[in-house]
Amino acid sequence: MKLLQLAEHFERLDGLTSRNAMVDELARLFKSIESPEEMREVVYLTEGILLPPFASTEIGISEQFMSRAIAQAAGKSVEHVKELYRDTGDYGLTAEKLITWPGEGITVHQAYNALLDIAKTGGRGSIESKVEGLARLIHRISKKEARYLLRVPMGKLRLGVGDPTIMDGLACAYDGRRNLRPVIENAYNLCADMGLVAGILLSEGPERLKDFRVLLGSPIRVELAERAESIDDIVRRLSRCAVEPKYDGFRCQVHKNGDEIIIFTRNLEDATHMFPEFVEAARSIVKAETAIFEGEAVSFNPKSGKFHPFQVTVQRKRKHLVEAKEKELPLRLMAFDCLFADGLEMLYQPYTRRREALLKLLGEGNTIAPTDALVTDSAAEIEGFFNKCLNAGFEGIMAKSLISPYMAGRRTFDWIKFKRNYAKEMRDTADCAIVGYFAGRGKRAQWGIGSLLCAVYNSEKDRFETITKVATGLTDKDWKDMKETLDAARVKEKPARVESVYKPEAWVEPRYVTEILFDEITRSPSHTAGRDGGRTGYALRFPRIITPIRADKKAEDATTVQEIKELFAMQHQATQ
Ligand code: ATP
């Protein structure tokens, strides 16, 4: 496929707002692809990435490189390019304005590989060769191709299509309907690599996808928990179940293949470098040649052995501090699931079997240890365990079905979280994608930011629907940092996937997630969350930010509209 053809598909997608029309356009695009390799490349480019997020390859093309490369290709000064960029806010459009040549008609494969090589180039003298390589590539492409291709390495393609829409597009390309969506989704949940799944669908068909196996080194999309309104509700839903402490740290998925250890975060990025002690422990105490298991990393006080709250653990996240903090803030991995052991895919087994496998997997040692687990059907016993967990400083409990398999990539009532907050009145938190901000009044006017427009994710529609305007919870410094962060994702118009009645002063591409505490969910005509045809959405009452940016979440990991509806129903029952 020629790059120009792909750019034309992207241009059409760019102009669409209806999701069905987007799915049809994607289906047309995917149908015209002939080789699995090209399919993989096209899918990544459509996702706006060069490689899946878990690939450990550093993709590094900074704004500075891009400005220099465009300047070099166009024979203009870097200042001139930067000035144009200040106007357009987009390197794709900047290059488009400067390109005067027709392009050589290169293929997607040529463009993708050139870009990937440039992005991967590292080491001495790499800056010059990167700039030159990029300038050469720009010289070979036309205006329209540049508009879309150059947005990819800058993380700014923004076609308005997320995973669910791409999966529907693939299913539709296969047989004109969306029947294959569950098969595609299941394989995607097992490897988190849409390009790989799409390539297999093209070359070997859906039967092969139905047999898709877990791959060591490719993260399994994580299982997530629903909320219960009370402990009785947990027992009603699960009967006899396992309850474990809910630790408040970072989720880690550890892959062991002999001595090779890879650790993925909650949003499936490779964060092995952050956890040297787990790498060491996984090599020495895990009693299997190959294994995949999950746990929560929590820092603790080496003198008292007590776990720290999340705000302390999070300090380990800063890359340059890993070494210094390793001694000061040692981590423990509280392991809670075993998904693969010695060649066996454990994730299809019920909890009880997986727990047995987990206990068998872990040898003596404190650095990686299994969570406590109580198996019971008594609400009173669960309540006792919950109170014990709160006294020990944990967030709450996780109750788990004894009979269900691991539901990769799904949020179901097989896992139920019950936190301190729900134990009191209805106070809860939502993780919201920031989609815009309003200039402030008074002191904040000087900073140009005073409140955030936030949205929850509608995974069925692949849309971000607004649920609150929030102006409290941040310190002066937080607001300044927030503006700087958001300005890097600022866009001129409402992003295609955002549904909003409000028009903020600045629109922001949904990329950052903020954690908001609220008292209640109300119905509101001003917000679009959960509007089904009618004019009333859901809104958060008394919102205040408690974590400015949840670095471990992508926008699509924000609280979903479905969860908001469930919370609303729960709160209704509680007041009846
Ligand atoms: P999400 O449900 O989207 O992950 P979140 O990141 O805000 O939301 P919670 O919903 O509060 O987290 O709880 C789920 C998380 O709890 C898991 O992702 C995991 O990181 C953590 N966790 C802590 N202890 C356990 C446990 N015993 N079993 C499973 N998960 C646990």
Residue 445 has a pLDDT of 76
Task: Say yes or no to pLDDT of 103 above 60.
Answer: yes
* Number of separate domains in the chain: 2
Chain mean pLDDT for the chain? 92
Give the position, in ligand 1's atom list, of the atom nearest the Cα of 400.
Answer: 28
- Give yes or no: 246 in active site: yes
Q: Is 459 exposed, middle or buried (0-12, 13-18, 19+ CB in 10 A)?
A: middle
Query: Residue 125: its pLDDT value, please?
Result: 67
In whole angstroms, what is the distance from residue 483 CA to residue 324 CA? 30
CATH number at residue 399: 3.30.470.30
Mean pLDDT computed over 37-60 = 89
Spatial separation of the C-alpha atoms in residues 22 and 13, rounded to whole Å: 6
Do both 487 and 344 map to the same domain?
no
Q: Whose CA is closest to atom 25 on ligand 1? A: 246
Do 414 and 274 belong together in one domain?
A: yes
In this structure, are 382 and 348 located in the same domain?
yes
Residue 384's pLDDT is what?
A: 96
What is the distance in A from the centroid of ligand 1 to the CA of 485? 26
* Range name among 77-81, 252-256, 569-573 with the lowest pLDDT average: 569-573
Q: Is residue 554 part of a domain?
A: yes
d(CA 504, CA 501): 10
Over range 11-16, report the average pLDDT: 94
Which residue ranges have their beta carbon within 6 Å of ligand 1? 224-225, 244, 246-247, 251, 266, 296, 336, 371, 398, 417, 431, 557
- DSSP H helical ranges for 286-333: 310-313, 322-328
Asked if 447 and 393 sit in the same domain, the reply is: no
388 pLDDT higher than 80: yes
In three-state secondary structure terms, 115 is helix
The DSSP 8-state label assigned to residue 372 in this structure reads P
pLDDT score, position 188 = 97
**Within-domain flag for 185:** no
Whether the per-residue pLDDT at 186 is higher than 90: the answer is yes
- Contact by Cβ (8 Å): 558, 432: yes
Q: How confident is the model at residue 574 (pLDDT cuts 50, 70, 90)?
A: low
Write the CA distances from 469 to 385, 428, 504, 552, integer angstroms. 37, 17, 10, 22
CA 63 / ligand 1 centre spacing (Å): 35
Q: Which of 418, 448, 481 is where one domain is finished?
A: 418
Looking at the CA of residue 415, tell me the nearest atom of ligand 1.
29
Q: Does residue 499 lie in a domain region?
A: yes
Residue 159 in contact with residue 14, Cβ under 8 Å?
yes
Backbone angles phi, psi at 137, to 5 degrees: -65, -45
> Does the pLDDT value for residue 325 go beyond 70?
no
- Same structural domain, 344 and 286: yes
Same domain for 244 and 380, yes or no, is yes
How far is 5 from 10, CA to CA, in rounded Å?
Answer: 9
Dump pLDDT digits (tens) for 199-250.
999 999 999 999 999 999 999 999 999 998 889 999 999 999 999 999 999 9
Domain, as residue range, for 317:
224-418
Residue 565 CA to residue 576 CA, distance in Å, equals: 17
Whether 218 is covered by a domain: the verdict is no
Whole-number Å distance, alpha carbon 230 to ligand 1 midpoint, is 18
For 350-462, strand residue ranges (E) read: 368-370, 374-376, 396-401, 411-419, 428-438, 451-458
Q: Do 308 and 395 belong together in one domain?
A: yes
Strand partners, 343: none
CATH of the domain at 542: 2.40.50.140
Predicted confidence (pLDDT) per residue in 478-497, tens digit:
999 999 999 988 988 899 89
Same domain, 458 and 410: no
Quote the ligand 1 centre to 229 CA distance (angstroms).
17
Best residue among 244, 398, 459, 513 to mutate for probing ligand 1's pocket (most ligand atoms within 8 Å of CB) is 398
Q: What residues have CB less than 8 Å from 241, skipping those under 6 apart?
A: 234, 235, 375, 376, 377, 399, 400, 401, 402
Please give the backbone phi and psi of residue 531, each rounded to the nearest 5 degrees, phi first: -70, 120
Task: Note the pLDDT tens digit of each residue in 127-163.
Answer: 788 899 999 999 999 999 999 999 999 888 889 899 9
Last residue of a domain, one of 353, 387, 418: 418
Are 409 and 488 part of one and the same domain? Answer: no
In a domain, 262, yes or no: yes
Same domain as 474, residue 410? no
For the chain, percent of residues with pLDDT exceeding 70: 95
For position 89, what pLDDT does the model report? 86
Q: What is the pLDDT of residues 518-544, one digit of tens each?
A: 988 999 999 999 998 778 999 999 999
With cut-offs at 50, 70 and 90, classify the pLDDT of residue 164. Answer: very high
Q: Considering the domain boundaries, does residue 387 fall inside one? A: yes
Query: Domain end: 380, 398, 418, which one?
Result: 418
